[in-house]
Amino acid sequence: MEVGGHENHLWRLDAVQALVADDTHPVTYLCGGSRNHADFVDLLDGVVVLDLDVDTLRRRLDERPAGEFGSEPEERALVLRVHGTGEDLPDGIRVDATRPLTDVVDEVLRVTAQPSS
């Protein structure tokens, strides 16, 4: 796989540590996935996993414009494989991400005990 591909999707531990240590904000959300989450997940107060079924995932991949990750057949196959195996997925509170975006955000705020705005 090319440089920057899935096998290299790693978060910098020093950057995560700095974000976690920064108390100038009452709440910090880190969004995305990382193959090395086990190196820092214990630093986090919690983990929310956005979950969706394979049919919704396929539909969303179909809707991606050319050039966006997941629009190419090899990328799509990778996304579907990783979704199917659950590899690189940390334990966490699962939130149904098939719902409308505002509902998903409200649920993330609810499960992390943050008031919605």
Summarize pLDDT for 85-108 with one digit per residue, the tens: 988 889 999 999 999 999 999 999
Query: pLDDT per residue over 5-51, tens digit each?
Result: 666 678 999 999 999 999 998 888 888 888 899 999 999 999 999 99
Burial call 2-38: b when 16+ CB within 10 Å, e when fewer? eeeebeeeebeeeebeebeeeeeeeeeeeeeebeebe
Nearest residue to 50 via CA among 7, 5, 89: 89
Evaluate whether 9 touches 3 at the Cβ level (below 8 Å). Answer: no
Whole-model pTM: value is 0.79
Query: pLDDT per residue over 44-75, tens digit each?
Result: 999 999 999 999 999 999 999 998 988 999 99
List, in order, residues 6 or more apart from 8 with CB less than 8 Å away: 1
